[in-house]
Amino acid sequence: MPPKTQRSGQDEPPAHGNENFEPLDPSERLKQLQAELNQHNTRIDHLTKQRDVLQTDITGLSTTVQQVITTVTNYGAGLKDLHNRLQALEYFYHQKNKMVLAAIGERKPFIDDLIRGYDDELARMDDHLHVLDEKQKAALTESNHAANLQNALENEYDQATDFQQDLTTKLTEMEALRVQITQADDTTDAASMYFLTLEFHNQVRNTKVISQHDLSLELRQKLGELEAAKERARAKTAALNTAQADYTAYKADLDTKRSDRRINLLKEIKALFPVPEEPTASDGTGTATTPASTPAPASDSPASPTAGTAATPKK
């Protein structure tokens, strides 16, 4: 014969003795056991959810730890090459910068002004974008407030519309409560009758029957308030859409201007200081094109009349 399941001492029936006691009603005992089972099941469900959440966190963290290890390992493997590439680029800059500063001459301040002006324009656009962002946030707040007000007025209008149905339900509940009070009176259950009478009084006190005229006025008032709230919500939604569209369009322009900074500045610099085209043989001068890899050195002495052309015999 299998052993019986042990429960806490508070669930054990009282020990038999000489004192008189009233046996527990089996139906009441069943309710107690069912309530105890429900409590245990609720706790088990709670612990099960905690376990599942903890297991999910452990799995996610394990994956993250492995990703960190992989990232650090890969970075260590390529660290030397990254150092070498950066050093090579730094060396290139230092060498090329000396040559550029020597060659740019009086053109430098004009180019610096172009760069400064472009960056100042980016800063102004960024400030204006911040203003547009604040506007769209304010518009969103007002739109949400208008929507919440509309929902609240819709609930009030629905309550006024369902007034008769709600009143009928309350009256039906009080009529059922009246039957309970009468039954308690018949069985001389004064304690239950006292409690039920208090409940009955609270419901009677909170139940009112209004006139048809008052209901009509309330419905018209609630409907008017609701329609005004809908109109306001539509206006606030339209204002929000406009603010969001303005922000999105301006941000796109700013992002494009920022991403095209180098291209645009190079275009302006080349327009301000165009590179002179070297003459070719087709120009009728007979001058050969100088290779790009070997530019002709600048000279302060006058150019020889025979440089780059065939010798012209004297007449």
Q: Is residue 179 predicted with pLDDT exceeding 70?
A: yes
Among residues of the chain, what percentage have pLDDT more than 70? 81
The number of domains in the chain is 1
Look at the block and give the residue holding tokens 């322009």: 253
> What average pLDDT is seen over the chain?
85
pLDDT at 52: 94
How far apart are alpha carbons 216 and 164 in whole angstroms? 12
**What's the token pair of residue 167?**
């009143």
Q: Is the CB of residue 118 less than 8 Å from the CB of residue 261?
A: yes
310 assigned to some structural domain: no
Stretch 254-265: mean pLDDT, rounded?
A: 96
313 assigned to some structural domain: no
**What's the token pair of residue 307?**
């440089």
pLDDT at 279: 66
Closest CA to 237 of 147, 129, 131: 147
pLDDT at 302: 37
List the domain range (segments joined by +) for residue 205: 30-272
Q: Is residue 56 predicted with pLDDT exceeding 60?
A: yes
Q: Is the CB of residue 102 less than 8 Å from the CB of residue 206?
A: no
256 assigned to some structural domain: yes
Closest CA to 214 of 169, 160, 168, 171: 160
pLDDT at 276: 82
**What's the token pair of residue 100?**
């550029």
How far apart are alpha carbons 92 and 85 in whole angstroms? 11
pLDDT at 306: 36
How far apart are alpha carbons 192 and 176 in whole angstroms? 15
Predicted structure pTM score: 0.61
Look at the block and give the residue holding tokens 């324009």: 121
The sign one gets for the Cα dihedral 153, 157, 158, 160 is: positive
pLDDT at 97: 92
**What's the token pair of residue 97?**
């910068």
Q: Where are the alpha helices (DSSP H) in the chain?
A: 26-104, 108-161, 163-186, 190-205, 212-259, 261-272
Q: Is residue 55 predicted with pLDDT exceeding 70?
A: yes
| C-alpha distances in Å from residue 44, one per residue of 37, 47, 53, 72, 110 | 10, 5, 14, 42, 77
How far apart are alpha carbons 234 and 54 in whole angstroms? 45
Planar angle of CA 117, 119, 121, nearest 5 degrees: 70
Q: Is residue 297 predicted with pLDDT exceeding 80?
A: no
Stretch 217-246: mean pLDDT, rounded?
A: 95
Stretch 56-70: mean pLDDT, rounded?
A: 94
Q: Is residue 107 predicted with pLDDT exceeding 90?
A: yes
10 assigned to some structural domain: no
Stretch 91-119: mean pLDDT, rounded?
A: 93
Q: Is residue 301 predicted with pLDDT exceeding 70?
A: no
| C-alpha distances in Å from residue 225, one per residue of 25, 98, 157, 163, 221 | 58, 76, 9, 18, 6
161 assigned to some structural domain: yes
Q: Is residue 17 predicted with pLDDT exceeding 70?
A: no
Q: Is residue 100 predicted with pLDDT exceeding 80?
A: yes
Burial class (CB in 10 A: 0-12, 13-18, 19+), 279: middle
208 assigned to some structural domain: yes
Across 14-28, 86-100, 247-261, least confident range:
14-28
19 assigned to some structural domain: no
Q: Is residue 305 predicted with pLDDT exceeding 60?
A: no
152 assigned to some structural domain: yes
